[in-house]
Amino acid sequence: MDPSKHERLGQHIKRVEQELTSAKHAVLRPFKINVPQYSVLYALLQEPGLSGSVLARRCMVTPQTMSSVLSTLEGRGLVERKPHPIHSHILEARLTRTGRSLLQRADAAVEEVERALTDHFEPDEAERFLEQLSRCSKALATLPGAPAKPSSS
């Protein structure tokens, strides 16, 4: 395939990612959170007690951006940060009761967006597509400079 005549695979993936992010932003607006904030809340639901640096890697943002996101969420009472019991210089983040409640409602809205996307595929197509996306991730993980797999420190 001649790249001068056809769009590259990466361009298609980027466009869909931007459209998905835009749709999520729209449904999250009533909850007064954005997609990065939602991602942090969701990550903390899945794995409470993550540090800012681990959250930054998981959410694919810089540590500086994560610090800002966590400060905003903490200021709104959605997240609390406390020193790690052994490594007191590391702050562990956890959802508050308010954060968990907000996330539950916001996640239902995000699930609707994702369901609308999934509904455009037959079940076997969706499964194959997920396998293909996984192959894309594996291929990119082998390239020089690829990000390291997330750790839970």
Sign of the CA dihedral 99, 102, 106, 108? positive
pLDDT bin (cut points 50, 70, 90) of residue 86 is confident
Q: Which one has a higher pLDDT value, 77 or 123?
A: 77
pLDDT bin (cut points 50, 70, 90) of residue 146 is confident
Residue 63 has pLDDT above 70, yes or no: yes
Give the per-residue pLDDT at 83.
87
- Number of H helices and E strands in the chain, helices first, is 6, 3
* Cα 86 off chain centre by: 28
Distance CA 61, CA 92 (A): 18
Give the per-residue pLDDT at 84.
79
Residue 89 has pLDDT above 70, yes or no: yes
Give the per-residue pLDDT at 152.
43
> How many Cβ atoms sit within 10 Å of the Cβ of residue 18?
10
